[in-house]
A and B are shown apart, each in its own frame.
Chain A
Amino acid sequence: NAGVTQTPKFQVLKTGQSMTLQCAQDMNHNSMYWYRQDPGMGLRLIYYSASEGTTDKGEVPNGYNVSRLNKREFSLRLESAAPSQTSVYFCATHLDRGLNQPQHFGDGTRLSIL
């Protein structure tokens, strides 16, 4: 049981390059989330998806796009990477039954943009 799997784990990009971060879950959860974590900033929500085929903006969506093509997978795309997007990116999932359910995190993708 892998839980939440993120690929790649590490990536270095040049400014202006594009990249897609992948997230897959086998927990049968409806909701999926993308966060970025910068030193001293905690976790900031980029985008989330409450169900297959739906996506909504979070706190810091600019410069990112997402795609939720099926229940298992939620991808995050950087169309033209900027140094300000250097961060650690976490994908999380959530079971939508009841209010009091935690989110479960993947291991993260460490992205550096030069």
Chain B
Amino acid sequence: QKEVEQNSGPLSVPEGAIASLNCTYSDRGSQSFFWYRQYSGKSPELIMSIYSNGDKEDGRFTAQLNKASQYVSLLIRDSQPSDSATYLCAVKMIKAAGNKLTFGGGTRVLVKP
């Protein structure tokens, strides 16, 4: 079992719909959670971070964290073609030395006009 798991996709979403991405992690004591967006051929860029159970909203993005069930999700509302990218989930695990993050394999999202 991978420490951070994501469905690789592609997740195909009509323009204007909600894209829902999930990420599960193995370390129950994990502390910090990050979502990165990565366009093809580009580097990852941070779009959301979440540390406490519940929802966190930033524009069209909502991150949801459930530590008891060990999952974190990302919702993209009113999806646009420009949201087509790979979304990486990253977790700061309590067992990790220093400030290392463990990344999932990413979910590829395709928003179709």
Which of these binds chain A: B13-21, B62-70, B75-83, B97-105? B97-105
A contact residues around B103 at 8 Å (CB)? 42-44
CB distance from B70 to the nearest CB of A (A): 18
Query: A103 to B43, alpha carbons, bound, how many Å?
Result: 12
B contact residues around A105 at 8 Å (CB)? 43-45
CB distance from B81 to the nearest CB of A (A): 23
Q: Tell which of A43, A99, A104, A108 touches B92, judged by Cβ atoms closer than 8 Å.
A: A99
A contact residues around B44 at 8 Å (CB)? 43, 90, 105
Query: A108 to B44, alpha carbons, bound, how many Å?
Result: 10
The B contact surface, by secondary structure, is loop
Q: Which residues 27-48 of B sit at the A interface, judged by CB distance below 8 A?
A: 31-32, 34, 42-46
Would you list 30 pairs from A and B whose C-beta atoms are within 8 A, ordered by A residue?
A31-B98, A31-B99, A40-B8, A40-B105, A41-B105, A42-B103, A42-B104, A42-B105, A43-B44, A45-B100, A48-B98, A48-B100, A50-B99, A56-B97, A90-B43, A94-B99, A96-B99, A99-B92, A100-B49, A101-B32, A101-B99, A102-B46, A102-B90, A103-B99, A103-B101, A105-B43, A105-B45, A107-B42, A107-B43, A108-B43
- State the B residues within 8 Å of A (CB): 8, 31-32, 34, 42-46, 49, 51, 88, 90, 92, 97-101, 103-106
- State the A residues within 8 Å of B (CB): 31, 33, 40-45, 48, 50, 56, 58, 90, 94, 96, 99-108
